[in-house]
Structure 1
Amino acid sequence: VRTLNEEWKKPVVIFADADPWGLGIALRYKIGSESLSYDSDRLVTPNAKVLGMMFSDIYDYNIPEVARLTASDEDMNRANDMKKKPWLQDKQWQRELNLFLKRKEKCELDAFFKHGFKYLAETYMPQKLREVGLI
């Protein structure tokens, strides 16, 4: 992924579920992980843009309650652990994790289909790509 971005000059965008596990996957690409710290220089893509799905997107994009899932104890523990990590002290990540911990709700990407089959491609993704300056 890093090669695509740095050598081939291709933008990298990350799109994952709005749960602590999805955020963890996204951040593994963007900033690395403890378990792969020995190989971070080769794997991490700091220029990657995390488009979502963010916890705030659940509310900003009016995901219907029927498409939201209640966070498990394991989800809550993971989010609390993530909040303590020194590399996750950025205001954006802290705000997102705090929202998750307060609302205790998560969401999978397919929740966007509650707005119609084309919503993800025609509304959400273009708006997110504009926000990060890729269109």
Structure 2
Amino acid sequence: MRRREFVVALPGILAVAACGDSSGPDTAQPEPPPPPPPPPGAVPGANVTVNIEDNAFVDPNGGRNGDAEVTIASGETVGWRHVGANPHTVTSTEVPSGAMAFDSGTIGYNETFQVRLSVPGTYVYHCATHPSIMLGSRIIVT
């Protein structure tokens, strides 16, 4: 009689075992969301970074627009990181004799632009989209 009870109970035990833990490798887990973009900061490869905010170029010391000024050695790189909402440009308006003019074209949020400057002197740039308010920023190359 005992054997018969076991045989009758065996299908029920197997059914319970088959319904076991559902966290095994066959269970599909949703993909985690992608990480957020990195916070604005230094432009990789640049010796100094200028932030482009809405209506202002801001140097590392907090100088804005006409007061924004950075100094680098010949052969170093200046980078700009866009941290505002409106599109802007970084466009040279004055360069030393023998130096090349530069223009980033339109750049948007979290995009970067950089330029390596080798000719000593003062470079002046503005935003070509907003030339009346984003002007007069300087790079001094020694």
Q: TM-score range by the shorter chain?
A: under 0.3
Larger relative contact order (C-alpha < 8 A, sep ≥ 6)?
1
Q: What is the TM-score of this pair, normalised by structure 1?
A: 0.22
The structure that is helix-richer by fraction is 1
Structure showing greater Rg:
2
**More strand by proportion, 1 or 2?**
2
